[in-house]
Structure 1
Amino acid sequence: MAEPTLGRSAQKRRAILSTAQSLFLSNGYQGTSVDQIAAGAEVSKQTVYKHFGDKHELLVAIVTETLSDTVTPFLDRISALADTTDVDGDLAMLARDYINAVLQEPVVQLRRLVIGEANRVPELAQVYYEQAQGRSLSAFTEAFARLHDRGLLVINEPALAAEHFAFLVIGRCVDQALFLGAGSVRSDADLDALAEQGLAVFLSAYRPGT
């Protein structure tokens, strides 16, 4: 089914967001002016301010909407894990998809941008953490608690288990990507193998009878 046609105002807003994100990622937040954003989006400076009160509000909107598009669908996958009948298989698939999701180049670039601006725009870092890591860890916590109740895993501290799963699967790769870029990590590492190795350690700690 074709996407609904956007009105002129919505089209301008999307153009501003897209242009601003591209400029922020290439030039940095401080190195990008509203004049540049307006020129790239082919709108007036007043139009930028009409949709977004200032450059800071624009950056927050980019982070919020990007994370909504990338994180929300994944949260549904995590929630579905609570009802699985194949813990090993579904966790393996989820681990592989998780590591590939966080190593998308736009996601890594956005994370770099947020970290770089954390001192100047601390509330942005708070928004990013709550919308990305915070929501993901909460979803894993709820799913693991349910799997414990069903006797499929032995997890007395679901929140801690959620942290263990996340960092065993993605921790090293995320750190490398922040310094070296997602492309470098993807070309040098077998991501599926890393996900499976991290999951193996997780299951050795939380599988019943181990």
Structure 2
Amino acid sequence: MTTSTTGGRTTVADTQNPPGATGGRGRSARKRRAILDAAREVFLRGGYLGTNMDEIAALSEVSKQTVYKHFGSKEALFVEIVTSMTSGAGDTVHDQLPQPARGDDLAQYLREYAYRQLTVVLTPDLMRLRRLVIGEVPRFPELARVLHEGGPARAMRSMAALFERLADEGRLTVDDPRTAASHFNWLVMAEPVNRAMLLGDEAIPSPQELRRHAADGVRVFLAAYGPGAGHAPR
């Protein structure tokens, strides 16, 4: 028998649980995952009004009662889809790219960051999610805030913190890290994202085009914010 202590409470390892307890939790988690995967597909295809819980239940191979047991309502399931997709994309961009060390090529690092940001945001499912949320703003205004907070706002906070550190190291000239982050974000994101949002998946640039666009944006950014760029002293 093994034990562990969390928050002052000692728990016994699963070997002491009633038979089937762990399996029950595993089945519940698998059902929840199946429901989320099905709901993502159905919502992105049909929109909020065009989606019904019967279709989600059938696609996830569970009963409609099970769907409601896990999520309570169609609205709650829709909110979960938007939240999970937005946070997952943000994690991919911001948490999986290491911070640049002092000896790293800063321009190359920023090009890789910009390219990663573009390729994640410009996936067809995330573009459909953005269009869907914008279309549902009158019904679910809080979802637009979720999408903004987990998308561009999170990107700009992350970059502002990085730019402040790089300025302290003398590798950038930055008066206001938040303004610099906003400039970087929209130099990189504005044109390709607007094109894809309005013209559809076929307007998403190729990987080669995205790399060129990222490099161009970084070159302009560094011309304005590189060492000795002429800003007021920090």
The verdict on a shared fold, with TM-score over 0.5 as the criterion, is yes
Relative to structure 1, the CA distance from residue 149 to residue 78 in structure 2 (aligned partners, 3 Å threshold; closer, same or farther) is farther
1:52 is aligned with what amino acid?
Answer: F
Letter in 2 for 1:159: R
* Residues 145/101 of structure 1: CA separation in 2 closer, same or farther (3 Å cut): same
The C-alpha deviation readout for 1:36-58, integer Å capped at 9, x for no partner, is: 21122121111111100111110
1:199 to 212, 218, 225: 218
Partner-residue secondary structure (3-state), 1:208: coil
- In structure 2, the residue corresponding to 1:151 is in which secondary structure? coil
1:140 maps to 2:178: no
Q: Distance in 2 between matches of 1:158 and 1:64?
A: 27
Aligned to 2:47, which of 25, 28, 36? 28
Change in Cα spacing, 1:153 to 1:77, as seen in structure 2 (3 Å) is farther
Q: From the two aligned structures, give the one with the greater helix fraction.
A: 1
Q: CA deviation at 1:183?
A: 3.4
What stretches of structure 1 of length at least 5 have no aligned partner?
A: none
Q: CA, structure 1 residues 29+94, in 2 after alignment: closer, same or farther (shift >3 Å)?
A: same
2:42·2:56 contact (CA, 8 Å) conserved in 1? yes
Looking at structure 2, the residues matched to 189 and 123 of structure 1 have their Cα atoms a distance apart, in angstroms, of 36
The aligned residue for residue 117 of structure 1 is: 136
The reply to whether residue 156 of structure 1 matches residue 168 of structure 2 is no
Contact 1:13/1:51, CA 8 A, preserved across alignment:
yes
Corresponding residue of 1:45: 64
**Cα distance in 2 for residues equivalent to 1:99 and 1:189:** 12
Aligned-residue sequence identity (percent) comes to: 44
Q: Does residue 73 of structure 1 match 2:82?
A: no
2:123 is equivalent to residue 104 of structure 1: yes
Letter in 2 for 1:130: E
Conserved 8 A contact 2:93-2:113? no
TM-score, normalised to structure 2, is: 0.82
Shift of 1:76: 2.4
TM-score normalised by length of structure 1 = 0.90
Which protein, 1 or 2, shows the higher relative CO under an 8 Å CA cutoff with sep ≥ 6?
A: 1
Name the SS of the counterpart of 2:95 in structure 1.
helix
What residue ranges of structure 2 are gaps of 5+ in the alignment? 1-22, 230-234
Contact 2:152 2:185 in 1 (8 A): no
The answer on whether the counterparts of 1:64 and 1:128 sit within 8 Å (CA) in structure 2 is: yes
SS of residue in 1 equivalent to 2:152: helix
Count of matched residue pairs:
206
Task: Tell me how far 1:104 sits from its aligned partner.
Answer: 1.1
CA contact (8 A) 1:82 1:144 kept: no
